[in-house]
Amino acid sequence: MRKDVRRPGVWERAVLLLFPARCLWCGRAVGPGDFRCMGCGPVPAAPKPRLFQLEKGGRFLEVRAPALYQGGYRRTMHRYKFMGEKGLSGQLGRFTAGAAGPWADLDGVAYVPLSKRGRRARGYDQGRLLAKSVARALGLPLLGVLEKSRENQCQHGLGRAARMENVKGAYRAGPGAEGKALLLVDDIVTTGATLCQCAKALYDAGARQVYGLCAASAEKKEG
């Protein structure tokens, strides 16, 4: 059976009384469990799922996200990822978890990890925090089965072909993935290069099925 997204628990609601949730588009205070304020209107429909081919003639990776990486939501994601606002992970994770509804019989949540150098520079691993919140919302275990096996150039500013080459062989998965249907979480999907490399690593480690879930979906033109 598929996992339904649970509402914030008693402890989480208590925390929200001290630190109110904010509209993910404009930053105004919203009620517990809400993601968008009345001034911004209803939450927009989620973008269409994206499908990426992992290997010629082989598997595909379906990736879903609850919102497009644009406007006020883009600014929120930028604050979370680059400006140290890691407290957004709880609300973003619950929002992101809602896009996982169609997938059933999941065994756990994996995530795209930062390298040790990346964690030191940023002070936190935004992908892990997001995945932890997603896992909590779905009632699934968080599995640290992926690791960054080598450093690579920042993906920003690269076209799809360059991104694919840049992350080739940059991730590996441990035996904890074997036989499992996994939800692979990352913050933003652009060309899908990083998610595809991580999915390949999970399949190589024996994963039964891998689905991609991101907080935001961005389109990137070839260049």
Average pLDDT (136-140) is 95
Look at residue 213 and tell me if it is in a domain. Answer: yes
CA 190, 95, 182, 83 torsion: positive or negative?
positive
What's the chain's Rg over C-alpha atoms? 17
Look at residue 31 and tell me if it is in a domain. Answer: no
Q: For the chain, how many structural domains are there in total?
A: 1
Look at residue 5 and tell me if it is in a domain. Answer: no
Q: Is the pLDDT of residue 89 over 60?
A: yes
Look at residue 17 and tell me if it is in a domain. Answer: no
Mean pLDDT of the chain: 86
More confident residue, 211 or 32: 211
Q: What is the dihedral of CA 54, 169, 67, 133, to 10 degrees?
A: 120
Look at residue 7 and tell me if it is in a domain. Answer: no
DSSP assigned state of 163:
H
Look at residue 222 and tell me if it is in a domain. Answer: no
Look at residue 187 and tell me if it is in a domain. Answer: yes
pLDDT of 167 reads 67
CATH number at residue 109: 3.40.50.2020
pLDDT of 138 reads 95
Q: Report how far residue 214's alpha carbon sits from residue 92's, in angstroms, rounded to the nearest whole number.
A: 10
More confident residue, 137 or 159: 137
Burial of 122 (C-beta count, 10 Å sphere; 0-12/13-18/19+): middle
pLDDT in tens, 161-188: 555 666 666 788 999 999 999 999 999 9
Is the pTM higher than 0.75? The answer reads: yes
Look at residue 8 and tell me if it is in a domain. Answer: no
Question: To which residue do tokens 């979370």 refer?
Answer: 80
Q: Give the domain extent around 112.
A: 45-217
Q: Which of 9-18, 109-118, 185-194 has the lowest mean pLDDT?
A: 9-18
